[in-house]
Amino acid sequence: MSSSVIPGSHSQPEFFRCTTCNDNKLYKGKRGLNIHNTRCHKNSSLPAPPPSNPQNTPHPSFESFITHLHNSIRVVKRIPRGARISLAKSLTSVIEKCLLNTSENWQNLFTFSYSHLHVSPSSKSLTRALIENSSHNPNPLLLPPFPLRSSANIYRTVESKVMDGDLKNAARILFSDDTLAPPNQETLKSLQEKHPSRPIPPSPVCLPPPLNYQPLQIVDDSDTLAAIMSFPPGSAGGIDGITPQHLKDLVSVSAADAGRTLLSNITKLCNLLLSGKVVDNFSPFLYGARLCAFRKKDGGIRPIAIGSTFRRLAA
């Protein structure tokens, strides 16, 4: 089992949080965590990272793997000026490989934010930590999970929206009675009722053969830049953790030539999506979305779907 360490002073014992349980409970010392693992997770294990896959198919556990990263690693909201050139170069390299259109390279793009835009709470310099991430490309699974925060602190949430420049949603949160629904079976059942699975037909569906699309130059760099800047402040990211604000920072003037090169590669990526040439096996992850369930006044559930920033950008 894996765990995160909550460091204390030399006079205080260390506390550990189980990374399998999505709660705030801390266990005193490794002995306390081992007792918890023996009682609750004796036959379970965390999803392993997707290995190199020459068959060009997503790792069968990639869905649980990326979900685990999203739930356990906090990504920075803004990229400081001093780290933008370094991170722009790193993202450019990842996208260039992604243009080869293999599932393994798409997986690297989807985990970019968790390996490069994560900063430990103990880091003294945000800029230096991000630059080190772009140099060493750390394994996301080896990073310590962030301590979960209570969703009841409305003041912290509003302050975060104001700092993002999202005044509209800050006001909406202040005057809205909607709250996040608890992550339990009842909420899951309500979401499944609103979004039922596609019925399996009695006989195989005969679809026409796919058209032989050729890569087209549908958009240019100016179109891509205008689309990136059109996202409203505070726009959320999908399961991959990359937000429109990240792209705004990395293609800004402060990123210099690295930003312009990144913009060109993002344009090529958008043209790949618009040409219909994305590898089929990874399409469910790229064109899917993560659902956030809000509880309405009447007790119902309001699902909010948040798709990948790159898919929304191409759209």
Amino acid 194: pLDDT: 81
Nearest to 62 by CA among 285, 291, 288: 285
- The pLDDT of residue 313 is 95
Cβ contacts of residue 155 below 8 Å, gap of 6+? none
What is the amino acid identity at position 153? N
Q: What is the pLDDT of residues 78-102, one digit of tens each?
A: 999 999 999 999 999 999 999 988 8
> Taking Cα atoms as reference points, which of 313, 46, 304 lies closest to residue 180?
304
β-sheet bridge partners, residue 27: 16
Banded model confidence at residue 214, pLDDT cuts 50, 70, 90: low
Q: How confident is the model at residue 10 (pLDDT cuts 50, 70, 90)?
A: very low
Tokens of 312: 């929304």
User: Residue 7 — left, alpha, or beta (φ > 0 → left; ψ -120 to 50 → alpha)?
Assistant: beta
pLDDT the model gives residue 297: 75
